[in-house]
Amino acid sequence: MSTAEVINTLPDADAILRQIFGYQQFRAGQSDIIATITAGRDCLVVMPTGGGKSLCYQIPALMLPGLTVVISPLISLMKDQVDQLRLLGVEAGYLNSAQTPQQQQQVIEGCQSNRIRMLYVAPERLRMGSFLQQLQRWQPSLLAVDEAHCISQWGHDFRPEYSAIGELRQYLPDLPIIALTATADDTTRTDISARLRLNDPLIHISSFDRPNIRYTLVEKYKPFDQLWMFVRGQKGQCGIIYCNSRNKVEDVAARLQKRGLSVAAYHAGLENSQRESVQDAFLKDNLQVVVATVAFGMGINKSNVRFVVHFDIPRNIESYYQETGRAGRDGVSAEAVLFYDPADMAWLRRCLDEKPAGAQKDIEQHKLNAMGAFAQAQTCRRLVLLNYFGENRQTACGNCDICLDPPKQFDGLLEAQQALSCIYRVGQRFGLGYIVDVLRGSNNQRIREYGHDKLSVYGIGKDKSQEHWVSVLRQMIHLGLITQNIANYSALQLTESARPVLRGELPLQLAVPRIQNVKPRQTARTYGGNYDKKLFAKLRKLRKSIADEDNIPPFVVFNDATLIEMAEQCPVKAHDLLLINGVGERKLERFGNAFMALIREHLTGTDD
């Protein structure tokens, strides 16, 4: 019986999850999303990278009767997704400009005959009249929009070509839509829903937390030497190093190559063939490190990236979060290291100053300010990230540089109350710099025009420096006591969490201002779990051999988390191997015997 025939016999989403995709249970929210979309209701899904977004439309695609169309921004990502689905026995295809007319026709015929269940296309294709006519004939059952933040001007990666997606409603008014993204604040989510014309959507927001990623900031003093110390300590693990310019990418890659590292440069200035070669080598574990601009990574669906380094500070927190999220997608521990120099921020500000004035520039300015505040944070870095995305937490993570090497603390309750009172008394309509000026009693015309020099809070904090008040206010933002309204010129506004602080009902410890200066660890963090390390190494070697023979990336066979579970459980029978997460019926049939044989040999000592 073919996989397609097997799928048709499976009674529900849980059975498809187990037998096709090889997972024993859904993650939080997935089951509700799948039930909602199969019932015909629109959905907006915000999940972190590696959080299981793809299953939220892939399983409905196998449950619904017709075609599912998936909007994906990059050719490489389409191909990767389709290859993985085909490996599972799922009929999927893609249409893009890199295909020959004959290849495109084969895919179109597969859709017309109902053989293909999932069709991946770029958003630009929706502007083609002939394709819209085909969609009207096919009457698809579902439209999935991946990287949905690209449709919003408030997002960090606005792409005009995404605007065509919302217009599809004119041609297919009853088509259910599921929009998915890893990074969208409240303003961006509202904009996505409006631009896609979602009808009363279920909005699911997963936790943005990636607990397996350790966040570290390193103040630059000898940048390349610091970088080399960190990368050398990773002992062969694969990673990505981001730089803000092509010249720096080339320079860093060349210097690392001279030190004997398996590394290559990647940026938009290279020929397509060069970029494809680097990406292919990295996916297949034939290349340890890629030094890249942000042009690299969006199309990388590689689960075993163990570290991401930002050698320069990114332009916004959304980019930082998405790029660091490319590490540890298999759930195994990973590193995110940010190298910081205030001069890098100054360079980004100069670049921004050269842009014409307007709403888009204001948005970018707000996001750059937030990124700078993150770098200067004196509180748990994970809390800063989560609070930025509206996920208010109070408990530190214990897995970032601030938690592992805490800054000195002081009783900040009085100063927090003074700041909160000031924000409230000026009507919650002014930004951070203005609030600092009022607190310090600045004699500027704007304050006098508004009459804020007459307020009781005017000059109440004049005994503290400007840097001190900026640090206090930024920490209060990170703690979720106040928020910046991006739609209103980054005005500071009180949250519900501010009330008990204003009333003095809670103690409040703040950090003495400083920039964290931590040397990167010289050894890679080891995998967690009580498993056989020698067996794990053998399983990885077997995986690489199979992947090379089939010309596919090793993680497509099984990811590291699956191999770790094998090395822990040591399954030697088919029904036991099926209980391992990531092993479905098709992969059991294709790869199971080889892995079980290796495990048996290891247990009996006959493989030495």
Q: So what's the pLDDT on residue 195?
A: 93
CA 421 to chain CA centroid, nearest Å:
36
pLDDT digits (tens, 9 = 90+) for 415-428: 999 999 999 999 99
CA angle centred on 270, ends 266 and 275, rounded to 5° = 55
Angle between helices 466-478 and 432-439 (to 10 degrees): 130
Q: Which residues contact 584 (CB under 8 A, 6 or more apart)?
A: 18, 19, 20, 21, 22, 23, 88, 578
Q: So what's the pLDDT on residue 454?
A: 94
In the predicted structure, residue 1 carries a pLDDT above the cut 70: no
In the predicted structure, residue 157 carries a pLDDT above the cut 50: yes
Q: So what's the pLDDT on residue 524?
A: 35
pLDDT digits (tens, 9 = 90+) for 403-412: 888 878 899 9
The kind and range of the H/E element at 519 are: none
Q: So what's the pLDDT on residue 525?
A: 40
Residue 54's identity, in one-letter code, is S
The most distant pair of C-alpha atoms in the chain lies apart, rounded to whole Å, by 86
pLDDT digits (tens, 9 = 90+) for 510-547: 987 654 333 444 333 444 557 898 999 999 999 999 99
Greater pLDDT, 70 or 222: 70
599 with 576: CB under 8 angstroms? no
Query: For the structural domain made of 3-205, what CATH number should be given?
Result: 3.40.50.300
From CA 43, how far away is CA 428, in angstroms rounded?
33
pLDDT digits (tens, 9 = 90+) for 218-251: 877 788 998 999 999 888 899 999 999 999 999 9
Segment 191-202 shows an average pLDDT of: 93
C-alpha pair distances (Å), 110 with each of 58, 81, 91, 168, 172: 18, 17, 9, 22, 21
Could you give the dihedral angle defined by the CA atoms of residues 115, 120, 122 and 126, in that order, rounded to the nearest 10 degrees?
40
DSSP 3-state assignment of 602?
Answer: helix
Q: So what's the pLDDT on residue 220?
A: 79
Which residue's structure tokens are 């829903």? Answer: 193
Residue 387's identity, in one-letter code, is N
CB burial of 31-53 (b: ≥16 within 10 Å; e: otherwise) equals bebbebbbeebbbbbbbbbbbbb
Q: So what's the pLDDT on residue 331?
A: 87
Q: So what's the pLDDT on residue 28?
A: 87
From CA 119, how far away is CA 496, in angstroms rounded?
45
Angle between helices 30-38 and 55-63 (to 10 degrees): 40
CATH 3.40.50.300 positions along the chain are: 3-205, 213-404
Question: Which of 412-416's residues contact partners 24+ apart within 8 Å by CB, and which partners?
Answer: 412/472, 412/475, 412/508, 412/509, 412/510, 413/501, 413/504, 413/506, 413/507, 413/508, 415/461, 415/464, 415/469, 415/472, 415/510, 416/472, 416/476, 416/481, 416/501, 416/508, 416/510
DSSP 3-state assignment of 153?
Answer: coil
C-alpha pair distances (Å), 322 with each of 47, 147, 339, 362, 532: 11, 11, 17, 22, 32
Cα distance from N-terminal residue to C-terminal residue, the chain: 39
Write the DSSP symbol of residue 19. I
Write the DSSP symbol of residue 488. G
In the predicted structure, residue 296 carries a pLDDT above the cut 80: no
Q: Considering only 60-69, 72-81, 223-232, 445-454, which range has the smallest mean pLDDT?
A: 72-81
Return the CATH fold of 213-404: Rossmann fold (3.40.50)
Segment 103-125 shows an average pLDDT of: 93
pLDDT digits (tens, 9 = 90+) for 2-59: 666 666 667 789 999 998 998 889 988 999 999 999 999 999 999 987 778 999 999 9
Q: So what's the pLDDT on residue 502?
A: 94
17 with 26: CB under 8 angstroms? yes
Alpha-helical segments (H) within 284-341? 317-324
Return the CATH fold of 409-506: Arc Repressor Mutant, subunit A (1.10.10)
pLDDT digits (tens, 9 = 90+) for 316-368: 998 899 899 999 988 899 999 999 876 788 788 888 888 888 888 888 888 89
Query: For the structural domain made of 533-604, what CATH number should be given?
Result: 1.10.150.80
Q: So what's the pLDDT on residue 515?
A: 44
CATH 1.10.10.10 positions along the chain are: 409-506
Query: Is the whole model's pTM more than 0.75, yes or no?
Result: no
Could you give the dihedral angle defined by the CA atoms of residues 599, 602, 603 and 604, in that order, rounded to the nearest 10 degrees?
120
CATH 1.10.150.80 positions along the chain are: 533-604
